[in-house]
C-alpha cells in the first residue's frame, strides 16, 4: 500500500480526499480566488506600457495610446494561463482614465486646459475609464480566444 501526504476519509468503502490548508493557495478570500493583486499589477504595468508606447507614435498619438490598451491586454490574454478579466478591465479603466484626465493639462493648451479640466475633467476622465475598461476586456477576450484556438487539439 502506497503512503501519501494527502489526507483521506473512508465513507461507505470509498476513499475521498480531504483538502488540506496547504492546497488552498490563499484563494479562500472574500472574492473566492477571482481577484489577484499580482495579476492587477502586471495588467497595470502592461496597459501603461501600451498607452505610452501607442502614444509615442507621431501622427496618431491619442488613437495609438488607445490602441496600445487593446494590444497590451491582447498580449496578456495570450500569455495568461487564467482568465483575468476583472484585473485587465480595471487596469485599462484606471490607466486610460488617468491618461484622459491628464491629457487636458498639456503645456500647449494649459490656460484653456485648466478651465476645461475644471468644468469637464471628471466627465472626460469617466469617459476614459469606460473606454479603457471596455478595450481592456475586449483585448483580453480576443487574446484568450486566440490562445484557446492555438492550443486546442484538432
pLDDT tens digit string along 9-27? 565 666 656 554 444 444 4
- Residue 90 pLDDT: 93
Amino acid 12: pLDDT: 62
Question: What would the pLDDT profile of 47-93 be if each residue is shown by its tens digit?
Answer: 999 999 988 888 887 788 889 999 999 999 999 878 888 899 999 99
What is the pLDDT at residue 7? 52
Look up residue 45 and give its three cell numbers. Answer: 504595468
Burial of residue 71, with CB atoms counted within 10 A of its CB: 0-12 exposed, 13-18 middle, 19 or more buried? buried
- Cα end-to-end distance, the chain, whole Å: 40
Mean pLDDT over 119-144 rounds to 88
> Could you tell me which residue, 111 or 124, shows the higher pLDDT?
124
Q: What is the pLDDT at residue 13?
A: 62
Percent of the chain whose pLDDT exceeds 90? 31
Using DSSP's 3-state secondary structure scheme, residue 10 falls into strand
pLDDT at residue 32, rounded to an integer = 61
In the three-class reduction of DSSP (H, G, I as helix; E, B as strand; rest coil), residue 9 is classed as strand
Q: Which residues pair with 101 in a beta bridge?
A: none
CB 121 within 8 A of CB 98: no
Amino acid at each position: 500500500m502506497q503512503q501519501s501526504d494527502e489526507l483521506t476519509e473512508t465513507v461507505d468503502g470509498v476513499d475521498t480526499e480531504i483538502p488540506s490548508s496547504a492546497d488552498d493557495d490563499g484563494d479562500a478570500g472574500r472574492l473566492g480566488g477571482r481577484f489577484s493583486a499580482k495579476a492587477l499589477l502586471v495588467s497595470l504595468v502592461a496597459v501603461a506600457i501600451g498607452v505610452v508606447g501607442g502614444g509615442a507614435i507621431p501622427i496618431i498619438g491619442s488613437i495609438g495610446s488607445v490602441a496600445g490598451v487593446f494590444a497590451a491586454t491582447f498580449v496578456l490574454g495570450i500569455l495568461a494561463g487564467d482568465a483575468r478579466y476583472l484585473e485587465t478591465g480595471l487596469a485599462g479603466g484606471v490607466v486610460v482614465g488617468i491618461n484622459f484626465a491628464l491629457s487636458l493639462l498639456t503645456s500647449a493648451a494649459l490656460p484653456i486646459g485648466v478651465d476645461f479640466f475644471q468644468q469637464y475633467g471628471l466627465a472626460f476622465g469617466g469617459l476614459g475609464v469606460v473606454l479603457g475598461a471596455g478595450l481592456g476586456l475586449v483585448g483580453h477576450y480576443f487574446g484568450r480566444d486566440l490562445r484557446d484556438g492555438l492550443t486546442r487539439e484538432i
